[in-house]
């Protein structure tokens, strides 16, 4: 349960550090993280696949291409 609360706070912290003059929306990022718990919460504030995996690494989940991304197709992820 605490991880469900921590992920949005962590993402909000990353977003505030970016220092953008313009408000960002989840439609501005190419990758989403889907938590592996019962909630299945989706957070779409990741610029790279690697950033998404690093964030979800401690709490479990998968990274998917953002279906609502307004830019071009996301960069393909590396297969390990």
76 domain residue, yes or no:
no
80 domain residue, yes or no:
no
- pLDDT > 90? residue 80: no
- Residue 66, pLDDT score: 92
Total number of domains constituting the chain? 1
Domain holding 56, by residue range, is 2-65
38 domain residue, yes or no:
yes
Query: Are the CB atoms for 56 and 64 separated by under 8 Å?
Result: no
- Residue 48, pLDDT score: 94
Query: Are the CB atoms for 56 and 63 separated by under 8 Å?
Result: yes
Alpha helix (H) residue ranges in the chain = 2-18, 49-56
- pLDDT > 90? residue 13: no
Q: What is the pTM of this model?
A: 0.58
Question: CA 20 to CA 15: how far, in whole Å?
Answer: 8
14 domain residue, yes or no:
yes
């Amino acid at each position: 349960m605490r991880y469900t609360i921590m992920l949005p706070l962590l993402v909000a912290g990353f977003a505030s550090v970016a220092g953008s003059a313009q408000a960002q929306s989840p439609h501005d990022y190419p990758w989403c993280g889907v938590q592996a718990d019962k909630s299945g919460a989706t957070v779409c504030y990741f610029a790279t696949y690697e950033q998404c995996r690093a964030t979800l690494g401690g709490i479990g989940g998968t990274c998917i291409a953002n279906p609502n991304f307004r830019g071009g197709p996301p960069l393909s992820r590396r297969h390990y």
